[in-house]
Structure 1
Amino acid sequence: MLTAESRLRDFPPLREMAYFNTAAEGVSPLAVRDAFLEYFEHKQRGMDGRVPHFAALDETKALVARFYGLTTDEVAICSCSSEAYNLAAMALRLREGDEVVVNDLDFPAGVTPWLQKESPATVKVWRSRGGALRTEDLIPLLSPKTRLVTTSLVSFYNGYRLPLAPVRDAVRRHSSALFSVDVTQALGRIPLELDDVDLIVSSTHKWILASHGGGLVGVRSQRAAELTAPAGGWYHLQDAFGANRFDEAISRPGAPSFAVGMPNFPAIYAIRAGLRYIESAGVDAIDAHARPLTEGLLHEIKKFPVELLTPTDVPPAGIIAFRHPKADEIHRQLLAEQIHVMSHAGRLRIAVHGYNTPADVDRLLRTLTTALRSV
């Protein structure tokens, strides 16, 4: 991933294209393809295949636990981050008068469960200024009524990287709320320090280069009683087939309650392969490689006639975003040169990962310069 040889060996499509859209969809290494084939070989064994299936699940949970800084008992795998947040909403059992704090830089998955009309809680929006979330703006939103503060470590929208420690400290000092952090746009790209975070959530098809169909959930054991999802099913229940199975259903506490139903084993094999790959490259090494590319790109884009959305007063993670009235035309010109970024509603978003190179960045900047002159 970090050398010309490994990049072309593991990611053959990158021979032709400059790919800067990992914040939407990662390019998987061939190891993930091999993982799907391994799953299929095990599936052909019928019921005997469940032995390696569950072994793969155990190993994947151990990998997630290492990345999150938790124990394997504190992690679970569900189908996607949206499911994780909906299960969290069930677990909280919110009532009238409860309050949930969200922010305007967050992805809908972590915001919308509390906005459904069936949710009795009052939602307070922590609003950004200059593309950044300021801790001093959060504090007035916190009170004894606050049940949850939820945020992303890195914003999907503009790449803003939250200074986690002061935000966490403010939540602890001014409320007794649960603190939830989505690391979808950080896991696999930057080192994580998630001390004293109660709920951790991530998707699996972006920076860890795995597949769709997974949601990585971490629940710190100290808050397991408050984050136990009362969902139906079987796999996550304490005794789904016991003598009292028609009298009661009791979820296993904490993270295991988020693993509702049969595990999605094809995705689990892919997640294991993706996390193994990231771990073998080393997140510190990935960040050391990609950070100067991101910083150099940000420095040059600041000179362009665009509305920069990414704040420059905090270190960037892996995402740079800007607006331009002709964003769609600029995007078409980039695609014509096999340069992949995201374009949505006038916003262009560039994501830099370990498989990007200085040559990719130069190619992007040259094409952007030409496109901006022509539109």
Structure 2
Amino acid sequence: MFTPESRRADFPSLEGRSYFNTAAEGIPPLSVLHALEQYGQDKLLGMDGRAKHEAVWDRAKQELADAYGLSTDEVSFCSCSSEAFNLAALALQLQPGDEVVINDLDFPAGSTPWLQESSPATVKVWKSRDFALHPDDLKPLLSPRTRLVTTSLVSFFNGFKIDVPEVTRLVRAHSPALFALDVTQGLGRIPLELSDVDLIISSTHKWILASHGGGLVGVPAHRAAEWTVPAGGWFNLQNAFEADRFEKTVTKQGAASFSVGMPNYPAIYAIEAGLSYIRQQSIPKINDYCQPLYDHCFAELNKLDVEMLTPSDPANQAGIMAFRHPDAERIYKHLHAENIHLMYHAGRLRIAIHGYNSEADVERLLAGIHSAVKS
């Protein structure tokens, strides 16, 4: 990931292009594509392939457990982060008078289940100031009625990273709430500290460089009862094929209850390969490699006539930065024509720097932005 040679070997599709849109779609290494091919070969075995699928499932669970700092009994998989949050809403069984705290820098997956008409809870919004979430603004929103505080570790909007220990301290001190954390924009890019988080969720097609169709769920054992999903299915049940199966359901506890049906084994193969690749590269090494590139890019953007949306405090930064410009769409099209890829939406440009980006990529990006802004 860190040398021209390893980049060409693992990411041949990046030859000739500079890719800064990992926060939307990660570029998989060849090992992930080979894993998907292996799934196809195993599927050709029919029922005899099930043992091979299950072996990959077990390896993927171990990789995820290591990434989350949990045991294999405390992690599982579903189809995507949106499904995970909707299943979490089922598990909570909210009642009128209950309160849920969301925030305005979060991705819709973690916020919208609680805004549905069918949800009886009162939703409070932790509002950002200067594109940052301040703990002092969270404290007044907490009460004895707060059942859940949910947020992303790193905001998809501008890369703002919350202080997890500080937020959990506030939640514990001022409410009985559970704390759910979406680590989609951090897992695979920055070291994680998740020791006091009650529910951990992530997508799979971004920084861990896997495929679509996966959701990564972590539930610490001491929170298993609170996060047991009362859903029909079979993979999530202890007695799906027992003699009493038409009389009652016995649901597996905690994370296992989020896997309600036949696993999406193609995604599981990709997840195992992606997490394995990231582990072998080492997240601390990825972060140490990327940080100077990020700092240089951020500093140079601040010299231009753009509106930075990412706070300047390094403690609240991760792999993403974003800015606005009146001609953002033109800048985006100019860069795209030069085979420089980043995200554009409604006047906002977002840059994501991962381990397969090089110093030359960053200089090329900055030159392209500088030229487009000046013109």
Q: TM-score, structure 1 length as denominator?
A: 0.99
Partner of 1:101, secondary structure, is: strand
2:157 is aligned to 157
Matched residues in 1 for 2:95 and 2:155: separation?
29
1:19 is aligned to 19
Partner of 2:149, secondary structure, is: strand
1:130 is aligned to 130
Matched residues in 2 for 1:198 and 1:79: separation?
20
Matched residues in 2 for 1:178 and 1:21: separation?
32
Tell me, which stretches of 5 or more residues in structure 1 are unaligned?
A: none
- TM-fit CA distance, 1:223: 0.9
Within-5 A mapping of 1:1-375? 1-315=1-315, 316-374=317-375
Partner of 1:226, secondary structure, is: coil
Matched residues in 2 for 1:99 and 1:21: separation?
35
Task: Say if 1:230 and 1:250, in contact at 8 Å, map to a contact too.
Answer: no
Task: Say if 1:77 and 1:215, in contact at 8 Å, map to a contact too.
Answer: yes
- TM-fit CA distance, 1:193: 0.9
Matched residues in 2 for 1:200 and 1:218: separation?
5
Matched positions, count:
374
Matched residues in 1 for 2:349 and 2:247: separation?
54
What is the CA RMSD across the aligned residues, in angstroms? 0.7
Give CA deviations for 1:307-328 in whole Å, capped at 9, x if unaligned.
1000002332100101112111
What percentage of aligned pairs have identical amino acids? 62
Task: Say if 1:161 and 1:314, in contact at 8 Å, map to a contact too.
Answer: no
Matched residues in 1 for 2:314 and 2:153: separation?
13
Q: Which residue identity does 1:269 align to in structure 2? A: Y
Partner of 1:225, secondary structure, is: coil
Matched residues in 2 for 1:88 and 1:65: separation?
19
- TM-fit CA distance, 1:141: 0.4
Give CA deviations for 1:250-286 in whole Å, capped at 9, x if unaligned.
2111000001100110000000110111011000000
- TM-fit CA distance, 1:290: 0.4
Matched residues in 1 for 2:159 and 2:140: separation?
25
Matched residues in 2 for 1:88 and 1:318: separation?
27
Dislocated runs of 4+, deviation >3 Å: none
Q: TM-score, structure 2 length as denominator?
A: 0.99
Tell me, which stretches of 5 or more residues in structure 2 are unaligned?
A: none
Matched residues in 2 for 1:171 and 1:96: separation?
21
Matched residues in 2 for 1:49 and 1:183: separation?
32
Matched residues in 2 for 1:223 and 1:181: separation?
14
Matched residues in 1 for 2:154 and 2:342: separation?
18
Give CA deviations for 1:228-249 in whole Å, capped at 9, x if unaligned.
0011110010100111111112
Give CA deviations for 1:130-156 in whole Å, capped at 9, x if unaligned.
111111110100011000000111000
Matched residues in 2 for 1:43 and 1:236: separation?
22
Q: Which residue identity does 1:364 align to in structure 2? A: L
Give CA deviations for 1:181-233 in whole Å, capped at 9, x if unaligned.
10000000000110110000000000000000000000111111111001111
Task: Say if 1:39 and 1:266, in contact at 8 Å, map to a contact too.
Answer: yes
